[in-house]
Amino acid sequence: MRSRRSISDIVAVVLLIVIAIAAAVIIYMWLSGLIGSMHTSTSAMQVKLEITGANVTYNTNKSGFNVTAYVYNPPGSPSTSISLGELEFTNGTVICSTNKVSPTTIPPSNSTEVTFSCGYSPKVPAGTPVEVILVTSEGTQVTYTATASVS
103: preceding bond cis by omega (within 30 degrees) = yes
In this predicted structure, the answer to whether residue 47 has a pLDDT above a threshold of 60 is yes
- CA dist 82 and 101 (Å) reads 7
Q: Tell me phi and psi for residue 124, to 5 degrees.
A: -110, 125
In this predicted structure, the answer to whether residue 132 has a pLDDT above a threshold of 70 is yes
pLDDT band at 18 (very low <50, low <70, confident <90, very high): very high
138, 41 Cβ separation under 8 angstroms: yes
Select 43-150's CATH number: 2.60.40.10, 2.40.50.140, 3.40.50.720, 3.30.1300.10: 2.60.40.10
Of the two residues 36 and 10, the one the predictor is more confident about is 10
